[in-house]
Amino acid sequence: MRNARNVVRAGAVVLAASLLLAGCAGGGSQAPSGDGPQPLRVAYASDLDPNDIADQIGIEAAGAEVTELTEDSAVTAGLINGNYDIGNIDITAAIKAIQAGVPIKIVYVAQNQPEFVMVAQSDITSVDQLAGRTVAYHSPGSLTEILQRELVKQNDPAIEGEIQWTVLPESPNRAAAMVAHQIDATTLEYLDVLALQKQGSFNVLGDWSDLTGTSADAIATGWVVSESYLAENQQAVVDFLQQVQDGYDTAYTDKAAWTTLAERLLPDATRPSCPRRTTTTPRSACTRGRARSRSRRRAGPGWTTSSGRSASTTRPRPSRWST
């Protein structure tokens, strides 16, 4: 399980000030009082990784305080309790919370495409070999479950009912279960795939770029705030998102700036091969590998990805929701 820890650093997501709608439901949540302006308190639902570096460029410029948590629900609870001002969580988790009556607003799309990679034990080389095997995902309705079930439906829909589906929260826990051969396949985050590959021989069965149909257009993460905070601090949210947009602009045009910050914030990450490009990283001058995918999260210029393959980059698009 990942440890929650406070760090002062920065993060960026594309912003459209027009997205922030006036007249949101009011409440009593406000930024902490004190002498002078208080820094925005930003919460992530997981540890930072290479794809979050573009976020950090803008957040550092904003002087925001970042807390890394372990669950989307922890971020949502922190927003409602007034412990944080703005959060970065999975879009699916945000929509489910809103549908359940939680008073939060999606104010912007952070990353267009989910970064998850489906991996399997060495004796499984294709999705159609999963009948009778144990396949784990984070939680019902999560992007990890969606990826796996959609890949199965595309390859051999008849075996979906023969797979032993199981819930195992948190990508690091599922990676450990793979190493211990407690499960046969699962979906992991990028950095956990790297760690897994160092532990033995595992096969990549697919990622979001392999999906077709409506699921291929799923959005990964977004910025959310409580309704009460937005009603009382709309300009502060607009200003923050503008700064993270500026950070994205820097990431797209200044590879050196991105790399320098990544090396400082993520000293344990490695960059031995050409990356798969992402929605929030600048164009890389590295030699292309086996390019076959669209953009994805959790990579950056010259940083290793799960398969060493490269792909095109697309800018995150602004959210138009007012849910």
* pLDDT tens digits for range 105-150: 999 887 777 889 999 999 999 999 999 999 999 888 888 999 999 9
Residues 91 and 133 in one domain: no
37: CB partners within 8 A, 6+ apart = none
Residue 108 sits in which domain range?
Answer: 5-112+219-251
Cβ atoms of 70 and 47 within 8 Å: the answer is no
What value does the mean pLDDT take over residues 142-166? 95
Residues 209 and 121 in one domain: yes
The reported pLDDT for the residue numbered 163 is 98
Residues 31 and 63 in one domain: yes
Of 163, 191, 217, the residue at which a domain comes to its end is 217
- Kindly report the average pLDDT of the chain as a whole number: 75
Residues 49 and 98 in one domain: yes
Residue 309, domain member (yes or no): no
Residues 232 and 108 in one domain: yes
Kindly report, residue by residue over 75-90, the tens digit of the pLDDT. 999 999 999 999 999 8
Residue 244, domain member (yes or no): yes
What value does the mean pLDDT take over residues 312-319? 32
Residues 107 and 246 in one domain: yes
100: CB partners within 8 A, 6+ apart = none
Of 217, 233, 260, the residue at which a domain comes to its end is 217
Residue 182, domain member (yes or no): yes
The reported pLDDT for the residue numbered 108 is 86
Kindly report, residue by residue over 45-76, the tens digit of the pLDDT. 877 777 778 888 989 999 999 999 878 899 99
Residues 181 and 233 in one domain: no
Residue 192, domain member (yes or no): yes
Kindly indicate the confidence band of residue 304, based on its pLDDT and cuts at 50, 70 and 90: very low
- Model-level pTM? 0.65
Residue 310, domain member (yes or no): no
Kindly indicate the confidence band of residue 247, based on its pLDDT and cuts at 50, 70 and 90: confident
- 27 or 181: whose pLDDT is higher? 181
Q: How many domains does the chain have?
A: 2
Report whether pLDDT(283) > 70: no
| pLDDT over 70, % of the chain | 72
Residue 84, domain member (yes or no): yes
CATH number at residue 187: 3.40.190.10
Residues 136 and 210 in one domain: yes
Residues 151 and 53 in one domain: no
Q: What is the gyration radius of the CA atoms in the chain, in angstroms?
A: 19
CA distances for 228 relative to 31, 76, 77, 129, 136, angstroms: 11, 13, 14, 50, 37
Residue 79, domain member (yes or no): yes
The reported pLDDT for the residue numbered 51 is 72
Residues 13 and 108 in one domain: yes
What value does the mean pLDDT take over residues 223-239? 95
